[in-house]
Structure 1
Amino acid sequence: MDDGNGDSLERILAAAIGDRDHEHERCPECSHPLHVVVAAESPGDATSPVIVRGVCPNCPRGLGAGG
């Protein structure tokens, strides 16, 4: 799966669960390591699909941030 920015959401999720030998995804703008955010589409619904995003703590960009 590709998030449209050329980066794989599977790679982001694998990094979040420690499956990539401690490699971090980097922000396409400033190259700072991204924080991984996982959220349910419908909070409170245990069957809701989740959304995985890489969020940059330094700038408003990140994987899936758009803009």
Structure 2
Amino acid sequence: MVTHDIDEAIILSDRVIVMSGRPGTLREDITVPFDRPRSFEIERDPEYAALRSRIWDLLREDARTAEETA
């Protein structure tokens, strides 16, 4: 599954692969540590928030790099 939605990726997937911008390379392959079945209640879990934040940090870092080279 390909998505641009971090929450969707965490809730529906067992792994989240974060890609870089051009050229598209693998930034990080992250295992989602939550048991199935998952519900939206998982969003209240501090581990969920930490994982979401980690993914955002990877994306932000790549966006900054792209902005600096533009």
* TM-score where L is the length of structure 2: 0.30
**Larger Cα Rg: Structure 1 or Structure 2?**
2
* TM-score where L is the length of structure 1: 0.31
- Which has the larger helix fraction? 2
